[in-house]
Amino acid sequence: MSDERRNSKHMTGGDAELILQVQRGNMDAFQQLVERYDRQVLTIAAGYVNNADDAKDIYQEVFLRVYKGIPKFQFRSEFATWLFRITTNVCLSHRTRGQRNKYTSLDQTIGHDGETPQTLKDTLADNSTTDQQANDAEISKRIEDALHTLSPRQRMVFTLKHYDGYKLREIANMMKCSEGTVKKYMFEATARLRKQLQDIAL
């Protein structure tokens, strides 16, 4: 039995068989792989750039890289892990088309703490509240601007955790770094956002 066959047995839900078919030139199998993961890739991209056009650009680039790289895929990791690493790399290197429609609502649900939905307001709240008088659109723009003052890796960690609901360990795998590094990025991102938005009623 080849190494590829042996390693592929440990992969989930038929991904391995589809990959082997793609490596033999079966493009229908590639389309099936895309359909399995396209929603997750688009969700990660949309959370990072918060712009439909930019998210589609990232999506297309991700699957172009997957298409080019899959002939050499050696089953040393789960396909999903490899795919999401490509996705985070494309996000981190992406240059947005502009600042169109980049507004994030304070009340947008961006994750869950146990079974309780969390909003961006909950995530950034620091046990103090003030009267909320600012216009919603202005507040949303302030939040989006603040998110874009984060370093690409800080923003990636923050959106993967709070927008997409990934665990720190999963994020570490996707970004090929330690869980401690992910925690550091998360702490720095949250602290910076709180400082940037301290005058807004959270």
SS3 labels along the chain: CCHHHHHHCCCCCCHHHHHHHHHCCCHHHHHHHHHHHHHHHHHHHHHHHCCHHHHHHHHHHHHHHHHHHHHHCCCCCCHHHHHHHHHHHHHHHCCCCCCCCCCCCCCCEEEEECCEEEEHHHHHCCCCCCCCCCCHHHHHHHHHHHHCCCCHHHHHHHHHHHCCCCCHHHHHHHHCCCHHHHHHHHHHHHHHHHHHCCCCCC
pLDDT tens per residue across span 185-202: 999 999 998 888 887 644
Residue range(s) defining the domain that contains residue 22: 3-93
Comparing 45-49, 99-103, 182-186, the range with the smallest average pLDDT is: 99-103
pLDDT tens per residue across span 35-57: 999 999 999 998 888 788 899 99
Q: Is the pTM of this model over 0.75?
A: no
How confident is residue 110, by pLDDT bands cut at 50, 70 and 90? very low
Answer yes or no: do 24 and 88 share one domain. yes
Domain count across the chain: 2
Q: Six-digit token pair at 128?
A: 């103090």
Whether 174 is in a domain gets the answer: yes
**Between residues 97 and 21, which one has the greater pLDDT?**
21
Answer yes or no: do 113 and 82 share one domain. no
For position 126, which CATH number holds? 1.10.10.10
Residue 170 has pLDDT above 90, yes or no: yes
Answer yes or no: do 86 and 126 share one domain. no
Answer yes or no: do 75 and 113 share one domain. no
Whether 99 is in a domain gets the answer: no
Residue 123 confidence (pLDDT): 57
Residue 102 confidence (pLDDT): 42
User: Up-side HSE of residue 86: CA atoms within 13 Å toward CB?
Assistant: 26
pLDDT (mean) for 24-32:
93
pLDDT (mean) for 107-126:
52
Answer yes or no: do 30 and 84 share one domain. yes
Answer yes or no: do 62 and 139 share one domain. no
Whether 161 is in a domain gets the answer: yes
Answer yes or no: do 87 and 113 share one domain. no
